[in-house]
Structure 1
Amino acid sequence: MRVQGHLFSWVAIFMLGSAIVYGLWSQEPVGTTALFLSFGLTAMIGFYLVFTARRVDTGAQDNKQADVADDAGEVGFFSPHSWAPLLLGAGGLCAFMAPVFGWWFLYFTAPIVAVGLWLWVFEYYRGENQNQ
């Protein structure tokens, strides 16, 4: 986790330098703001990773004498067959196209987003995945 934190910190420093140079050179406010926001986001992620790495056990990626097998094992639990993220992503894509085609488009996409979110939140409360 420490390596990723330092990587994000270096990217944040690069973004800050890019934002300053771009802002002074182009005098264009939108791109400058986007670069400063990118700096802020990468700095927050880098700070979180470095801050958390001090408080958790050293992972295999932080140990220079570690083998590949030291990091083996279960990574986490992932739903094996869920259609809800696909439906939610399609609804989100259509919802973000509403400013292009008109805000009336949200009337058709809001139910898709709502159903996708409902299915994703409650997918382990029904059917074969229901907890006993």
Structure 2
Amino acid sequence: MKIQGKMFVWLSVFLLVMAIVYGVWSKEPAGTTALFLSFALAIMIGFYLGFTARRVDAGAQDNKEADVADDAGEVGFFSPHSWQPLSLAIGGAMAFLGVAVGWWLLYFSAPLIVIGLWGWVFEYYRGENRTQ
């Protein structure tokens, strides 16, 4: 993670310089603001990666002598049969279509998005307050 953190810090330095140069030359507020916000986002990600890299073990990407196989292994758990992303995709597509067609379409897309988010968050919820 150290390398990724350094990459984002260097990206943020570049974005800051470009935001200043663009703001001085163009005097255009929207693009200058977008570049400054991109700088802020890059520095936040770089700081987070650098902060986290100090607290976890060094990964294979931090070792210059590492092979590709050194980073192999279990990545995490991914649900093999979830229908919730489909509900979110349809609801999101309808919401964006509502911007183009008419805002009334958001009344139909919002419940699909809420149902998809609720189902996805609580898909594997197990506990004493579990609903049946």
Q: TM-score, normalised by structure 2?
A: 0.83
The Cα shift of 1:18 comes to 1.6
Code of the residue aligned with 2:64 in structure 1: it is K
| 1:42-69, Cα deviation, whole Å (9 max, x unpaired) | 1000011011111211111101222222
The Cα shift of 1:16 comes to 1.0
Aligned to 2:95: 95
User: How many residue pairs are counted as aligned between the two chains?
Assistant: 126
2:53 is the counterpart of 1:53? yes
Aligned to 1:10: 10
Aligned to 2:116: 116
2:107 is the counterpart of 1:107? yes
Give distance in 1, aligned partners of 2:103 and 2:116.
20
The Cα shift of 1:104 comes to 2.7
Give distance in 2, aligned partners of 1:97 and 1:42.
31
Q: TM-score, normalised by structure 1?
A: 0.83
Distance 1:39 1:124, change over 3 A: same
Distance 1:104 1:85, change over 3 A: same
* 5+ residue gaps, structure 2: 127-132
What is the percentage of aligned positions where both structures have the same residue? 70
Code of the residue aligned with 1:73 in structure 2: it is G
Aligned CA RMSD, in angstroms, stands at: 2.0
SS at match of 1:110: helix
Give distance in 2, aligned partners of 1:27 and 1:13.
20
The Cα shift of 1:100 comes to 4.1
| 1:13-40, Cα deviation, whole Å (9 max, x unpaired) | 1111121111112211111111111110
Aligned to 1:77: 77
Give distance in 1, aligned partners of 2:10 and 2:110.
40
Code of the residue aligned with 1:12 in structure 2: it is S
SS at match of 1:17: helix
Give distance in 2, aligned partners of 1:97 and 1:18.
35
Give distance in 2, aligned partners of 1:20 and 1:100.
35
